[in-house]
Amino acid sequence: MALIRARRQDSGAEVAQGGLADLAARAWTLAVARAGQDELGVSVELRGVTVERRMLAELAEMLPERALIAVLDEGAGDATGVAVLDADLMAGMVEALTTGAVAAAGEGGARRPTRTDAALLAPVLDRALAGFEAALASAEGVDLPPRGYRFATTADGARTLSLLLEDGPYRVLRADCLLAGEARRGALLLGLPDRRAAAVPAAPVVEDDGFTAELARQVEGAQVRLDAVLWRLTLPLGETMALQAGMELALPRADIRRVGLEGMDGRRLAEGRLGRQGGLRAIRLDGPPEGAALLPGG
């Protein structure tokens, strides 16, 4: 049984304490072991499981090189969690699936993961996540409730992951994973959003004979145009008149992590980061811009 001790990491990140973290660690260990036996046909053992609270930026810094970064969702199409297998662990699992055996790691260095690797290992991850969810479903007071997480896609690296996931605190389970005894070993990481924030009390309902509901229905049906602005560029009139298709314009101060969302009057209503959703370009909103004044062209 993994021993979870209350301590502080060098970065000051909180480490989960007490029996709840111990329960989550045992549940994840058992779920991974069963998934390995059922899907891979070999033993999979987790050692030294820790449960930590980390911000997204810290989570991104934990990613090992050449790792398989599996982005998870909860069935709604939004990327909300992540499971990471380092290159040696990924290669050993693929070996088990394709050859039925696991050889010791070679000396040539671990290879980069491919989409084929992700497709092969997706059922293994889904089985482990389902088992983790089932193990904690009846536990009361657990601060790490799995919520139907399943494999959705892969991320190329820490930067891509930071664009896909929502910024905020995460509960992170880290462990050393042993495959087929000790034939192959590597790091396994699971990161799920920490949603323990207290619910905001609902505002009292005032009887108004349906006027408010009808007004809301009319207003919400109105069409509103919003422009996503990466950067505003000022050019002399002569250069503007000479613009042609295919010309390139330098945007030295543009930042895909700070894209403005503006109304038709030029007021900046919100800011976000440029990303992708369902094959389309998308903006993940971070909230209103800094400062109380909303100036045109800000």
Regarding whether 61 and 173 lie in a shared domain, the answer is yes
From 43, 41, 35, 67, select the one nearest 182 (Cα to Cα): 43
267 in any annotated domain: yes
Number of domains in the chain: 2
Residues 118 and 181 in one domain: yes
Please check whether residue 200 lies inside any domain of the structure: no
Domain shared by 163 and 215, yes or no? no
Higher pLDDT, 296 or 191: 191
Cβ atoms of 84 and 157 closer than 8 Å: no
Which of 141, 165, 193 is at the close of a domain?
193
- Cα 62 to Cα 158: distance, rounded to the nearest angstrom: 9
More confident residue, 206 or 173: 173
User: Same structural domain for residues 142 and 237?
Assistant: no
* Listed residue (59, 55, 75) closest to 67, CA to CA: 59
Q: What is the mean pLDDT of the chain?
A: 80
Q: Does residue 69 lie in a domain region? A: yes
Same domain, 178 and 250: no
Residue 298 belongs to some domain of the structure: no
Pair of tokens at residue 212: 């408010």
Q: What pLDDT does 273 receive?
A: 81
User: Could you tell me the pLDDT band of residue 81, with boundaries at 50, 70 and 90?
Assistant: very high
Claim to verify: residue 87 and residue 131 sit in the same structural domain: yes
206: in domain: no
Reported as a single tens digit per residue, the pLDDT across 146-202 is: 678 999 999 999 999 988 898 899 999 999 999 998 888 999 999 999 876 434 455
Identify which of 146, 103, 105 has the alpha carbon closest to the alpha carbon of residue 127: 146
Residue 186 and residue 217 in one domain: no
Q: In the listed set 167, 193, 219, which residue is the last one of a domain according to the structure?
A: 193
Quick one: average pLDDT of 62-88?
Answer: 89
Structure tokens at 252: 């030295």
Residue among 250, 252, 292 nearest 268 (CA): 292
Looking at residue 117, which CATH number applies to its domain? 3.40.1550.10
Give me the domain span that covers residue 102. 14-193
CATH of the domain at 265: 2.30.330.10
Q: Which amino acid is located at 25 in the chain?
A: A
Q: Does one domain contain both 171 and 32?
A: yes
What is the number of other CB atoms lying within 10 angstroms of the CB of residue 197? 8
Are residues 33 and 152 both part of a single domain?
yes
Give the phi and the psi of residue 35 in degrees, each rounded to 5.
Answer: -65, -40
Task: Identify the domain boundary among 193, 226, 254.
Answer: 193
Instruction: Tell me which range, 81-85, 211-215, 258-262, is most confidently predicted by mean pLDDT.
Output: 81-85
Tokens of 247: 């010309």
Co-location of 33 and 164 in the same domain: yes
Residue with more model confidence, 145 or 111: 111
Examine residue 293 and state whether it is found in any structural domain, yes or no: no
Burial 232-251 (b: 16+ CB within 10 A, else e): eeeeeeeeeeeeeeeeeeee
Q: Is residue 3 part of a domain?
A: no
- Has residue 9 been placed in a domain? no
As a dihedral over the C-alpha atoms of residue 81, residue 86, residue 91, residue 93, rounded to 10 degrees, the angle is -50
